[in-house]
């Protein structure tokens, strides 16, 4: 059919490779252990569940379009001014809003080689040019990022820690990155996994947002809070950036269930602590066990690990994926992230962690 005879997407749209979420099905009759999307094996806070149940009786009412009580709860817990917080339908939406707000056709946005794929998608959706920068040992390299800056650069996206590698850069490196960027370039620090990091040299970026005019930190309720299905994220940003995003976002972008669930979840510090404790224990255990099997595991500070498979065809990541899936252990293929022979595994329950290790031991025999 001639292009003139039907609507045409704007230039660049058909170049976007749509995001492929983690699989969530096991073969019939096999118990599913979903380890493909970095979800919390302990589930959501009981308080958040109660809050959502109560909301069921009030669903006819529009939500508060500025999510005031949620921003106040986040502000209280993290010691932030609620006026500098913008909430969103997942932190993916914040990334999209920032791209739509700060990138125009011809501008460039920088992210790293194995960076979260959503950055590229939203950069292309804004008509801008994605610029991918090499990493060193699967870790962001500040000098390489700074070397890629041109006079068309408008945004730098950095997941710290990064998904799917689980690696991070220490705060003095983040500070050096900010200091080296032109003042008109926005630095987006995606701290989706910040709660899990237990390193003295890590900081999520709050201090840098407070003390500069060009840094935004994004957070999510999908990981440590176990609310992936509710779709809720937030950004902490300078006032001028919050002002711009509040003009660009949908008037009711955060739904009423998300406001209730998030307000309860952020205040349940005990659930966060339990989740972080569980993760720390089984992250270390799983890493050690898989390493002992002869597999190489990228050292992770998140709630997932990147497992690299041997070069021989019989023991490839694809074969391991089939083997594990047949037994109900659903991990994530990461070819699209530049790791054709690795799988990403979420740290799940004790049962799932032990199950994967036992299955991979058999697989490698």
Ligand X SMILES: *Cc1c(COP(=O)(O)O)cnc(C)c1O
Residue ranges in contact with ligand X by CB under 6 A: 38, 90-92, 116, 159, 163, 190, 192, 220, 222-223, 228, 233
Give bridge partners of residue 48 from the DSSP assignment: none
- Category of 226 on φ-ψ map: left (φ > 0), alpha (ψ -120 to 50) or beta: left
Q: How far is the CB of 111 from ligand X (least distance, A)?
A: 10
Q: Which is nearer to ligand X, 124 or 218 (CB)?
A: 218
224 with 272: CB under 8 angstroms?
yes
Q: How far is the CB of 93 from ligand X (least distance, A)?
A: 7
Using alpha carbons, list the distances in angstroms from residue 168 to 203, 234, 239, 280, 319. 10, 20, 27, 16, 29
Nearest position to ligand X, beta carbon: 90
**Which of 302/328 has CB closer to ligand X?**
302
Q: How far is the CB of 1 from ligand X (least distance, A)?
A: 36
- The interaxial angle of helices 256-267 and 68-78, nearest 10 deg, is 20
Q: Please, which residue, 102 or 116, has the CB nearer to ligand X?
A: 116
Cβ of residue 232: shortest distance to ligand X, in angstroms?
A: 7
Q: Which is nearer to ligand X, 80 or 118 (CB)?
A: 118
> Minimum Å distance from CB 235 to ligand X?
11
CB nearer to ligand X: give 158 or 360: 158
Task: State residue 11 phi and psi, 5-degree precision.
Answer: -55, 140
8 A C-beta contact, residue 309 and residue 335 = no
In the block, residue with structure tokens 């270390």: 284
Smallest distance, ligand X to C-beta of residue 120, A: 12
Residue among 159 and 360 whose Cβ is closer to ligand X: 159
DSSP string, 197-255: ---TT---SHHHHHH-SSEEEEEESSSTT--GGG--EEEE--HHHHHHHHHHS-TT-S-
38 vs 141 by CB, closer to ligand X = 38
Closest distance of CB 119 from ligand X, Å: 9
Please give the C-alpha separations between residue 262 and each of 89, 110, 159, 192, 351, in angstroms, as whole numbers.
Answer: 11, 31, 22, 15, 28
């Amino acid at each position: 059919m001639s292009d003139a005879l039907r609507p045409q997407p704007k230039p660049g749209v058909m170049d976007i490779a749509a995001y492929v979420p983690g699989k969530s099905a096991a073969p019939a009759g096999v118990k599913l252990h979903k380890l493909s999307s970095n979800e919390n094996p302990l589930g959501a806070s009981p308080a958040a569940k109660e809050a959502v149940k109560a909301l069921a009786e009030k669903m006819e009412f529009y939500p508060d379009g500025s999510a005031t009580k949620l921003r106040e709860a986040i502000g209280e817990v993290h010691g932030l001014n609620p006026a500098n917080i913008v909430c969103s339908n997942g932190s993916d939406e914040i990334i999209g809003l920032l791209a739509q707000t700060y990138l125009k056709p011809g501008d460039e946005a920088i992210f790293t080689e194995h960076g979260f794929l959503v950055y590229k998608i939203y950069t292309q959706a804004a008509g801008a040019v994605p610029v991918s920068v090499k990493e060193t040992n699967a870790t962001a390299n500040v000098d390489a990022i700074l070397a890629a800056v041109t006079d068309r650069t408008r945004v730098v996206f950095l997941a710290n820690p990064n998904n799917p590698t689980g690696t991070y850069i220490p705060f003095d490196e983040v500070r050096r990155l900010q200091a080296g960027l032109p003042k008109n370039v926005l630095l987006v620090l995606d701290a989706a996994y910040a709660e899990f990091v237990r390193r003295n040299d890590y900081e999520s970026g709050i201090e840098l947002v407070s003390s500069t005019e060009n840094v935004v930190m994004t957070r999510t309720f999908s990981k440590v809070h176990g609310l992936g299905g509710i779709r809720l994220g937030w950004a902490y940003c300078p006032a001028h950036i919050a002002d711009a995003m509040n003009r660009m976002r949908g008037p009711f972008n955060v739904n009423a269930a998300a406001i209730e669930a998030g307000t309860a979840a952020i205040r349940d510090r005990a659930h966060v602590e339990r989740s972080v404790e569980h993760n720390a224990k089984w992250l270390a255990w799983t890493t050690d066990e898989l390493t002992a099997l002869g597999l190489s595991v990228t050292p992770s500070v998140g709630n997932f690990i990147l497992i690299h498979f041997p070069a021989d065809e019989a023991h490839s990541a694809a074969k391991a994926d089939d083997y594990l899936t047949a037994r109900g252990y659903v991990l994530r293929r990461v070819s699209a992230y530049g790791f054709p022979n690795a799988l990403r595994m979420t740290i799940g329950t004790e049962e799932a962690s032990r199950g994967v290790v036992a299955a991979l031991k058999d697989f490698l025999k």
